Amino acid sequence: MKPHATPLSRDAGDDPVAARADAQGAAGPMAAQPPVPASAPAQENAMGRSHPHESARAQVAGLAHYIDDLPELKGTLYAAPILSPVAHGRLNAVRTDAALSLPGVRGVVLAADVPGDKLLAAFAHDEPVFAIDTVQHVGQVVGLVVAESVMQARRAARLVTLDITPLPAVLTVQDALAQASYVLPPVFVRRGDAPAALARAPHRLQGAFEVGGQEHFYLEGQIAYAVPLEQRQWSIHSSTQHPGEVQHWVAHALGLDNHAVRVECRRMGGGFGGKETQAGHLAVWAAVAAHKLGRPVKLRLDREDDFMVTGKRHPFAYEYDVGYGDDGRITGLKLQMAANCGFSADLSGPVADRAVFHADNAYFLEDVEIASYRCKTNTQSHTAFRGFGGPQGVIVIEAILGDIARALGRDALDVRLANLYGTTDRNVTHYQMPVEDNILHDLLPELEQTAQYRQRQAAISAWNADSPVLKRGLALTPVKFGISFTATLFNQAGALVHVYTDGSVQVNHGGTEMGQGLHTKVAQIVADELGVPMARVLVTASDTAKVPNASATAASSGTDLNGRAAQFAARHVRDNLAAFVCGLDGCGAGSIRFAGGRVISPTQERDWDEVVKAAYANRIQLWSDGFYRTPKIHYDKATLTGRPFYYFAYGAACTEVAIDTLTGESRVLAVDILHDVGRSINPAIDIGQIEGGFVQGMGWLTTEQLVWNDKGVLSTHAPSTYKIPATGDVPARFKVDLWHEANREDNVGGSKAVGEPPFMLAISVYEALRNAVAAARGGDAPVQLQAPATAENVLRALGRLG
């Protein structure tokens, strides 16, 4: 199957609305051409085609600017953080004399120097700007040293001594549960009667396992540049997924109204969720320092400090009790999910909620009881990461189904198929949302066939029988991922479209570019709406002074929200021009077409540029705003019920692995993916997101191990000890196909979100590894493989390491 590229089908109701300008009698000079024959070839749309990323050439040439590349104003100072060496303690004193005596050092910034609220403007209001009376994790920022150069600041920061009286630290989820140490209250979701269902189940299994966190490891580290302007106004350059929140946080810390702070971000060198909230810390710290010293301040964390300061993907611990029938269909489930949230709430509430929402993955759970604990530990405050709790929900149900299949001696794919949501019944989630767009009954059998799943399973069984040391495993797992912010208020977006008198088009929207191709897709959408070549459209830097109150670029909704808002803004301009032209040609506005850089009426064909010039001469508005709010969604936070998602994105992956039973080493040998992106706006970008998401998920589950020692120190705090996948880890066979169906909901261009769902395809790697372990070990007992499946954890699962 090849990536499809269906031409844009306009949404129902696309006929132009009432024009914003009166074109009656307008008669500017325009070159007109004879009517276009009905058989004239249609212009090829920008959407549905694999246009290069809008910054690709600049990035390859080293000409794409990131914040550290921007010209610095005269007088710019540089900050470095003062970090706590203790996991939990009473902060008695900060001794700065040695640091201040170094050449070039201009000052030290502490909690007392924050002019506004000394707590960050996070929703839980539980995290200080700088440590005040206590420190709560190794790496917590106590203050900054500010100097004339980066290295002067970093050297001086190491000379600051902290007088800390140690206090007992909570370092594990198990300790947090024992002490009822939570950043937020536990949440419970129930449907039916799980205890009764378990009691009458023909078969029953219990189990427990853990999955680790994950470092974001963005190529561009956390950075902010704060510039004080006149009259208590501020310019902030921030590598952030959420400029609006950075604006609010900085204003809050400085004691200002939001309108006094302008935040810009042209692009990030990766984000993955790590710059959704935690970029705000850097901006606030730099702004407070700039406020104290009256000069611009840049703060860029080095890689090691970035590891020690910032939060990770939430580690989870699970306990489950499941009942099931002879066919493997689940009849009852009790599930405990405990999230290690770190020392403050950050985004742990919605992350843990989404884990609850995705604990079903693609499967109907009739009698179910889920307990979700949001544990407070003395580690970095964990935060958003691609999937936002979804992966931690999906993996537990996939592990349960794998154990059920093993206990019954059935193929795991058959057990998964038996548990799928139905199309007419068994189709309501445990949070009361109907599953109306389920394509897995068609998608899974197609991948089963194209990947030759059954034949390969038989071949692997035969191969394992003759291979005493190396063992192979194969798994095919699906994904059903909900698309929308679970916090309903964030499902809104705005955009501006400006058409200049030369016919060129500029777009600004509330989303941010972090390499995922959002600006490219938005440019494609606007180009098609106006009927101009994509080269005429330029998307500019995200800027709170242009589009206010924008939501974070997160939840895989960047294109859904901002692309639709930009489409609506372009449509308003198009309607103005259509009304103007129909006034000239005496026709209805609905009969005007825009395509191929031409404006076509039933009687005349005109060049786009000429129409724009004439419209300007006749005082027709050539710019507009657009606003979009996601329809249909609603959600009760108290009961975790409703319709939190506009639609689901689906996919499946078939993965083959091999393990060395003597060393515990493993390798991914082959991957076949069939993924649902709706009608793809840009197939090349979408396939890139699928490949990248899969490999990142593979890293989470195989090599990326975060280790805190018994003092609360993150031991894996550099590339030397923390291992992300490299090019050599990409499987030799890596086949990605796109599902052929458009989104059944009215989404922009018929597309679906693609940022996060592919990440969970990598759970097939984990299940394949467990199957390889089972082949080596024999028997039908559950395989307890802790994730990530490092060599040590594989050996433990094999029973060869204590």
Which residues are identified as catalytic? 756
3-state secondary structure of 582: helix
**Do residues 674 and 737 touch, judged by C-beta distance below 8 A?**
yes
At 350, which amino acid appears?
P
| Dihedral sign (CA 606, 609, 613, 619) | positive
d(C-alpha 245, C-alpha 331), whole Å:
44
Q: Where are the alpha helices (DSSP H) in 234-359?
A: 243-254, 279-293, 303-309, 348-357
Tokens representing residue 173 in the block: 């989820």
d(CA 111, CA 125): 16
Classified as helix, coil or strand, 238 is strand
Strand 203-211 and strand 316-324: the pairing is antiparallel
H, E, C per residue of 409-464: CCCHHHHHHHHECCCCCCCECCCCCECCCCCHHHHHHHHHHHCCHHHHHHHHHHHH
Q: 304-339: string of b/e by CB count within 10 Å (b at 16+)?
A: ebbbbbbbbbbbbbbebbbbbeeebbbbbbbbbbbb
- Are 133 and 85 within 8 A, CB to CB? no
Nearest to 196 by CA among 22, 331, 55: 331
Task: Tell me how far apart the alpha carbons of residues 776 and 471 are, in angstroms, rounded to a whole number.
Answer: 6
Amino acid at 554: A
Secondary structure letter of residue 772 according to DSSP: H
Q: What values do phi and psi take at 787, rounded to 5? A: -105, 140
Give the Cα separation of 614 and 616 in Å (integer). Answer: 5
Which of helix, strand or coil describes residue 300? Answer: strand
The DSSP 8-state label assigned to residue 197 in this structure reads H
CA distance 145 to 97: 11
Q: Which of 415-436 are b and which e, b meaning 16 or more Cβ less than 10 Å from the residue's Cβ?
A: bbbbbbbeeeeeeebbbebebe
Contacts of 781 (CB under 8 A, 6+ apart): 406, 407
Measure the CA–CA gap between 551 and 565, rounded to whole angstroms.
13
